[in-house]
Structure 1
Amino acid sequence: MRCRICTADLPAGAMFCGECGSSTSATPESRRLVDPRPGDTTILHRSPSGVVSVSLPSTAPDPVAVAPPARPGTTFTLRFSTGEVRTVFGTGLVGRNPLPQPGEAFDHLVQIADRTLSVSKTHLEFGQHDGDLWVADRFSGNGTILRRGPDGAVRCEPGRRYLVPRGGLVQLAEQSFEVS
């Protein structure tokens, strides 16, 4: 008998592999982690240019999950508490070291210098809908809070999109950015 994960030789009747610790009934497919994010925050319309921090190879988007393209010329300025300013359009990720999941592509990867490590590596996702900016917390460790002026603060539920008006403030743990 052989382990289906690491192919080590196993004694007859073994319940676990002595090499990798896997159950003898485990398969490579059963060991694959399930993506906990809702389907509405994965693949969106892509633009061929505009990467802020890191250049990524473009991948063909899933035609079922493609959102309508953003209005041409709609840009937003993100003014970070760190002093950085980024002009963005389309879609993107924000975090200490934002990386898309396999099969995802974004127009921007915006890195935040956060020595306290309060901001997650990939903290939130942003995009556009009918010319408005939205943000979605990507299951970050310290959460995201949206402040829309006199309407008060809203704690963002991970995976759900929230519209951010111009002048709104998005708090990422100990860091923040204002949208204009």
Structure 2
Amino acid sequence: MVKFCEENGILLFFLPPHTSHLLQPLDVGVFNVYKHYHSEAIESATLTGCSKFTKQDFLAAINSIRAKTFTLSTIQLGFRLSGIWPMSPEIVCEKSVEYDPARLPSAPSTPSSHSTNSTSFSTPKTIEKIRNVEERFSRISHDIEASQNLMQKLSKGAQACLYELEELRREKEMTQAATAARHARYVFDRGGLYRRHT
């Protein structure tokens, strides 16, 4: 691949380690579109009576999924959302968390399930992480800025959970509708077999 790029005047852009979730155009802007069209293919197959989306079904649908996903506008969107082109470092900087040693515990402690590290630099999205934030509140109640920071993290975590819950609710409704449509195409006869409506 490197040789091909050199021969064709393509400049390779090497990403720093542990940054692909922020800088990789495929991760940032393309794979979500790909997943969307893949889900659409599965839903379409389900609505037409397919009980299992097999490898053969996937191979039959992959060309259509790729054609819908890898469009010029989607690829350009990936580069724009990652701040690579047009060059916009602030996009990545806003998502990065600034290292602040003052917010770390002053004395080293033994690792435990209630370690503050899991909530220091990320939005809490699990019950355990939210409990860790609650525990930290009791230790820093005198520090208004740190308390506000933790409140923001809790708020972001709650919003993320609510978005996920709403997405699950929508998926459940779609699954129930697809199941009802599939059942409507079949009748149960006296011999215990399903027959398709004619």
Instruction: Report the TM-score when normalising by structure 2.
Output: 0.19
Instruction: Report the TM-score when normalising by structure 1.
Output: 0.21
> Which structure has the larger Rg?
2
Higher helix share: 2
Higher strand share: 1
